[in-house]
A and B are shown apart, each in its own frame.
Chain A
Amino acid sequence: MWAKSEPIYRQTIASPAKAWRTRFQRYRLLGNASQNGETIYFPPRLANSLSTDDLRPYILSRFGKIIVKAEDYTPLIAQAGRSTRLFAMIQLEDGPSVMAEVVGSTYEALKVGNEVEMVVRKWRRESNGLPQYGFKFRLRTF
């Protein structure tokens, strides 16, 4: 089922335009926050119940802790050649939690409470064949 590289999709694809618009979310965890910083949104919210003026760009911390872990055995194509994939809910240092793939570890080795860091890795390819890059996490090295 593996190909020389990530195959090009015929369906269930990310649109190149949308992927381009949202690249900073994938590259740097760009969200937004209320002016007083009490509420952080990721992915960034375009408008809340008050006003768009109440939101400012906010880059989430690259570091966090595992709070829940799971393993995906679903053989979706082109998910980077791994037979299974490890996922986790990660509570970032500045509060919010994100769900992301965890690389460089195994389900058995990864423990709740482990410190992790964000890395940029390849996601799926876009419909035009372009590799799409985005955040994944791995155990903190330094």
Chain B
Amino acid sequence: MQVYGLESVGFAIPQNRVALRDIHDTWQSLPLSAVEKMATPYRAVVDPDEDAITLGVEAARMALERSPGPIGAVVFGSQTPPYISRSCAAIISDMLGLGSQVFATDVQFSSKSGTTAMIIAGGLVGSGMVGRALAIGADTLGQHCAPGDPQELSAAAGAGAVIVGTEKTIGSITAVASHSSDTPDGFRLDGERYLRTGGTGMAATRVGLIDHVSEAWCALSFSETAGKGFPDEICALAYSQTNGAAPQIFRRAISAPIDLFTDGLVADKVGDTGSAGPILSLARVLKNVQKGDKVGLIGYGVGAGADAILIRINDSADIEDIDRLLLNNSSIIDYPTTVRYERRYQGHEYLLGAYE
């Protein structure tokens, strides 16, 4: 197995934002106090011509511009791909001009699809099958949540991409672990229009997240600090996040100091970006790390499973400043516009316009 790691990171976040208070005023599906506990004033809303492919290609292009060169594999992770049969990775590969010899495939495991894509890309590179691989996590959750469903409050969209390779890596992947089981804390059946939670017993108790994240994290096997609580060697954490309260939930799972979650928090600014969340979080963490630091990357997906990845920083990361998209460059839109942009209601299949 070759030593492999991250050569670059890219990201894309839609420009529009809607206030959670605006959604709450419309549906009142949760008490206002519960909405405020989400600590997420606004969430991102896709443009009407955006989807997981367009966001994914944007993030991938940013990563490729930072680390140009041939790509042997594209792994696209999403739970909201525009296609459920053909490969979005192949489309993205064509859009990027990577050549038709590339190995392209999609993976799907709810919100951990992005970290799962990274692990697969790492396996392909580490085994020597390809020299460099592109892993993408992209989701447009807002388009796929039912109007009035409490999930809709923070369901946003975004994409993250990493190039996994063996040369000039900003961080080496030194350990990978996963934990999966049949835990239906969220799902979407074939043919159903919207994502669903598994109900109060599964989703609201967070049993899936806490159990799986805890087990995956422990399976990383920190030899130096085994059995001594949270390992001191970890300098920061990047993680899946549904809203701004995510650090408190993850803290329950892995007993980490709360300040390790600070740099990686993005959902308080854009909401739940699904599969992109851990990679966006990583992009923010990488701005503040130094050579020799160790970063934990955790992906959690309902259904349920968790990935844990340990990254040792080799070099300061030359990546774009994600805060420019998180904090600036956004347009506030109202809830009716959000519903229209996300195409939440079923309309006519065939229409005639004014000139047709």
| Chain A interface residues (CB < 8 Å from chain B) | 1-5, 7-12, 23-24, 27-28, 59, 74-78, 80-82, 103-104, 119-123, 131, 133, 136, 141-142
Task: Tell me whether B343 and A5 are in contact (CB under 8 A).
Answer: yes
A20 shortest CB reach to chain B, Å: 10
A28 with B48: CB separation less than 8 A? no
The reply to whether A121 and B50 form a contact with Cβ atoms under 8 Å apart is: yes
A74 to B356, CA, bound (A): 12
Instruction: Tell whether, in the assembled complex, residue B94 and residue A81 are in contact, meaning their CB atoms are under 8 Å apart.
Output: no
Asked if A80 and B351 make an inter-chain contact with CB atoms under 8 angstroms apart, the answer reads no
Q: What's the dominant secondary structure at chain B's contact region?
A: loop
The residue from B49, B325, B329 contacting A121, defined by CB atoms under 8 A apart: B49
A7 touches which of B50, B97, B350 (Cβ 8 Å): B350
A141 touches B49 (CB 8 A): no
**Which A residues lie within 8 Å of B47 (CB)?**
80, 103-104, 121
**B49 near A103: Cβ-Cβ < 8 Å:** yes
User: What is the CA–CA distance of A121 and B341 in the complex, to the nearest angstrom?
Assistant: 14
State the Cβ distance, A73 to closest chain B Cβ, in Å. Answer: 11
Render B299-338 as a binary contact track against A, CB cut-off 8 A, 1 for contact: 0000000000000000000001000110001010000000
* A28 to B62 CA separation, bound complex (whole angstroms): 14
Instruction: Tell me whether B340 is interfacial, beta carbon within 8 Å.
Output: yes
User: Are B50's CB and A4's CB within 8 A?
Assistant: no
Interface size on B, as a range, is: 35 or more
CB <8 Å contact, A80 and B48: yes
Decide yes or no: A80 and B94 within 8 Å by CB, A3-B348, A12-B356 being known contacts: no
Across the interface, A141 reaches (CB within 8 A) one of B95, B329, B331, B352, namely B329
The total number of A-B Cβ pairs within 8 Å is 96
Is B54 part of the contact surface with A, judged by Cβ < 8 Å?
Answer: yes
Determine which of A76, A119, A121 lies in contact with B355 in the assembled complex, contact meaning CB atoms within 8 Å. A76
Q: Which residue of A lies closest to B57 (CB)?
A: A120
Using Cβ atoms and an 8 Å threshold, which residues of chain A touch B50? 121-122
**Residue of A104, A120, A142 contacting most chain B CB atoms (<10 Å):** A120
A131 contact set on B, CB distance < 8 A: 51, 82
Instruction: Report Cα–Cα, A76/B356, bound state, in Å.
Output: 8
> Are B353 and A2 in contact (CB-based, < 8 A)?
no
Contacts of A74 in B (CB 8 A): 354-355
| Contact in complex: A81, B352 (CB < 8 Å) | no
Residue B345, interface by CB 8 Å: yes
Residues of B with C-beta under 8 A to A133: 53-54, 91, 95
Give the CA-CA distance A24 to B345 in the complex, in Å: 33
- Taking the closest CB of chain B, its distance from the CB of A127, in whole angstroms, is 12
Q: Which of B40-61 contact A (CB under 8 A)?
A: 47-51, 53-54, 57-58
